[in-house]
């Protein structure tokens, strides 16, 4: 078994300590965030539909998206304006409606 030299041990210790500072600093200053789901709405067969989700109070969106109950819902846009996330698309199924909803990830500015 080869032992570590004092120099190698000192470098390893310094690197580990630096990593601990970076990790603890990153998590200590991370802003809390949470997901808000918008209301579920129906998109008729062939219908273009935009659904929204909104951050509460003075919170701002950091991301968002949406979901559909069918693979026939083709997404065309997903974006934020102010504190609201918009998710748009078209239900391309020839006969069946789709249930769709937007969500937004919110945090304090």
Distance CA 20, CA 29 (A): 14
> How is the chain split into domains, by residue range?
1-30, 33-107
Q: Convert the pLDDT of each residue in 13-40 to its tens digit.
A: 443 444 333 333 444 456 799 999 999 9
What mean pLDDT value characterizes the chain? 82
Structure confidence at residue 39 (pLDDT): 97
- The rounded radius of gyration (Å) of the Cα atoms in the chain is 23
The four Cα atoms 82, 41, 92, 85 give a dihedral, to 10 degrees, of 10
Work out the end-to-end distance of the chain between its first and last CA atoms, rounded to an integer number of angstroms. 53
In degrees rounded to 5, what are phi and psi of residue 92?
A: -90, 0
Instruction: List 103's β-bridge partners, or say none.
Output: 37, 65
pLDDT above 70: percentage of residues in the chain? 72
């Amino acid at each position: 078994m080869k032992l570590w030299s004092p120099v190698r041990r000192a470098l390893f210790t310094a690197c580990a300590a630096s990593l601990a500072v970076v990790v603890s600093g990153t998590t200590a200053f991370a802003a809390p965030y949470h997901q808000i789901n918008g209301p579920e709405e129906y998109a008729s067969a062939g219908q273009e539909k935009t659904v929204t989700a909104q951050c509460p109070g003075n919170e701002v969106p950091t991301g968002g998206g949406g979901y559909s109950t069918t693979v026939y819902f083709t997404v065309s846009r997903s974006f934020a304006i102010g504190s609201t996330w918009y998710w748009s698309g078209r239900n391309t199924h020839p006969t069946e409606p789709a249930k769709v909803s937007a969500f937004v990830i919110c945090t304090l500015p």
